[in-house]
Every structure is written in structure tokens, then in C-alpha cells.
């Protein structure tokens, strides 16, 4: 799995509570991504990072924030979880800005907001 660890793998939380998902990589890759996967929508980009402290929004960033204080860790935070954020969240990494550099994915975090 290209040295990517997502934690936790499963989480159940209540509406309104804060939640932080962690992505840890051992590849020293510059680019890191958070996607969510939902039935009927495929994968949608939430946020991505192109270096320490450098992040940008994806297409579904509302309700999410991210932080990258170290190369190896990319955190996704739901400040106040809602039921619409129930999803499977995938972290991915990319070693190069070159467009032929593929993404490598973690195995996902299944989040349920009740």
C-alpha cells in the first residue's frame, strides 16, 4: 500500500462532534490528498497538499479543514460532523508534480455520523 496508513479505519460519531482523520506516509512524497467516496458520486476531492503548510481546496471542501505540519502527516478535520459527511475517506499520495505520476491510495476510513 505504498507506505500509507490511515487512522482510524472505522469511526462512528455523533452529529456536531469534531472528528480528525489522519493520513501517514513513509514515502516522503510531496503531494497528499483527501478524497471521499460515496455511492453514485465516485471519488471527490476534498483538499490536497503540495507541501508542508501548503494546502488547497478541492471540489467538496465545505465543512472540512486540513493541516500538514510535517511531510508525513496530513490531517482531515470535520469541525462539526453532519450526517452528510458519512462516507469512506481515502488518502492518496503522489511523488511528483509530473502528470504521469500516479496516485497511491490508503485503504480508507469508514466514517459514520449518527
Partner 1 sequence: SQQGEEDPQALSIQEGENATMNCSYKTSINNLQWYRQNSGRGLVHLILIRSNEREKHSGRLRVTLDTSKKSSSLLITASRAADTASYFCATPQGGSEKLVFGKGTKLTVNP
- Binding residues for partner 1, rule: CB under 8 A, are 1, 4, 31, 33, 35, 40-45, 48, 50, 58-59, 90, 92, 94, 97-100, 102-108
Residue 83 beta carbon to partner 1: minimum distance, rounded to whole angstroms: 22
Which residue number, 15 or 41, has a Cβ lying nearer to partner 1?
41
Calculate the CA 6 to chain-centre distance.
Answer: 9
Which residue number, 20 or 103, has a Cβ lying nearer to partner 1?
103
Q: Is the peptide bond before 49 cis (omega within 30 degrees of 0)?
A: no
DSSP secondary structure letter of residue 99: T
Taking the CB of residue 33, how many other CB atoms lie within 10 A of it? 22
Amino acid at each position: 500500500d505504498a507506505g500509507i496508513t490511515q487512522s482510524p479505519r472505522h469511526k462512528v460519531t455523533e452529529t456536531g462532534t469534531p472528528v480528525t482523520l489522519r493520513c501517514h506516509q513513509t514515502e516522503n512524497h510531496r503531494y497528499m490528498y483527501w478524497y471521499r467516496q460515496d455511492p453514485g458520486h465516485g471519488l471527490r476531492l476534498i483538499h490536497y497538499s503540495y507541501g508542508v503548510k501548503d494546502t488547497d481546496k478541492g471540489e467538496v471542501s465545505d465543512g472540512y479543514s486540513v493541516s500538514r505540519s510535517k511531510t508525513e502527516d496530513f490531517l482531515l478535520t470535520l469541525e462539526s460532523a453532519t450526517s452528510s459527511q458519512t462516507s469512506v475517506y481515502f488518502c492518496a499520495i503522489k511523488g511528483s508534480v509530473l502528470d504521469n505520476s500516479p496516485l497511491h491510495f490508503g485503504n480508507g476510513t469508514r466514517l459514520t455520523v449518527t
